[in-house]
Amino acid sequence: MLKRLCTFIIALALPFLLVVSSIRILANDWFIYFEYSRPGFPPDAYGFTLEQRTPLALIGMHSVLPQSEGIILLERATLPDGSLAFNQREIKHMTDVRSLIEKVYPAQLIGLALMVMLAILLRKSTQWRTLIPKGLRWGAALTLTLLAVLIAYIFINFDSFFLTFHQAFFEGDSFAFLYTDTLIRLYPEQFWSDAAITIGAMTVVMALIILVLSQIWLKRVTRNA
């Protein structure tokens, strides 16, 4: 019973660990440059040039990452005319985003570390050494199932997905901005649609790799039992 419970917990944790891993890969300068340079990405309707838009977009992303200076990056950022780039509603929302990331990033690292430690500690136990590969196998299958549903949802109605996501993780309506607000001008809907699809695709790839490797791992430990 205890072994089944532990397997279940590992399986449930894996989708979270993989999605956060994908976010970590995506939340870097390369994605901003890629999006802004790719054909079909919408230009700013209110006049930002690429040279003006890119540094502000990088500032916005860096402000929510734990290793950065933080929200002060937004508070001192300015537009080409010298005025403040971000209003208080935008700063409040990005503060909430940073707070969320500061919780999920460490949780992901702790989860990964616990799995590695368990795999090492249980590798010689005839009763428990199948725990990690079984948990990973079921977790990978669960991840693929959930993502199939989620990606279909995104393609069918991205606006509904975007609203539901923000309502689940943020209080109030701090994420509702005017089209003239800097955050919308830097990160239009196409940006978030591309980000969601990219995160989903990377997570699918990682889940498939884990599914294959966990099956090989399970066969080996079963054969050597």
The pLDDT tens digits for 23-75 are: 999 999 999 999 999 999 999 999 899 999 999 999 999 999 998 899 999 99
182-198 confidence digits (pLDDT tens): 999 999 989 998 998 89
Checking if the pLDDT of 166 tops 70, the result is: no
Q: Where are the domains of the chain?
A: 2-223
Separation between Cα atoms, residue 38 and residue 35, nearest integer Å: 5
How far apart CA 92 and CA 74 sit, in angstroms, is: 10
Residue 158 has pLDDT above 80, yes or no: no
How many Å apart are CA 34 and CA 198, to the nearest integer?
12
Rounded-to-integer distance, Cα 210 and Cα 141, Å = 9
The amino acid at 137: R
The whole-number pLDDT of residue 172 equals 60
User: What's the pTM?
Assistant: 0.88
| Distance in angstroms (rounded) separating the CA atoms of residues 143 and 195 | 18
Residue 11 confidence (pLDDT) = 93
**Looking at beta carbons, which pairs linking 116-124 to residues 24 or more positions away fall under 8 Å?**
none
The whole-angstrom separation of Cα 166 and Cα 184 is 15
User: What is the arithmetic mean of pLDDT over 90-101?
Assistant: 93
Helix (H, G, I), strand (E, B) or coil at 84: strand
Cα atoms in the Cβ-side hemisphere of radius 13 Å centred on 103: 7
Spell out the long-range contacts of 109-117 with Cβ–Cβ below 8 A and sequence spacing 24 or more.
Answer: 111/13, 111/16, 111/17, 112/17, 115/10
pLDDT band at 161; cut points 50, 70, 90: confident
Token pair of 115 as six digits: 């799995």
What is the per-residue pLDDT for 225?
58
Q: Phi, psi (5° rounding) for residue 128?
A: -110, -5
What does the pLDDT look like over 115-157, one tens digit per residue?
Answer: 999 888 887 777 788 888 999 999 999 999 998 888 787 777 7
Dist CA 91 CA 38 (whole Å): 28
Confidence band for 168, pLDDT divided at 50, 70 and 90: low
Q: What pLDDT, on a 0 to 100 scale, did the predictor assign at position 124?
A: 75
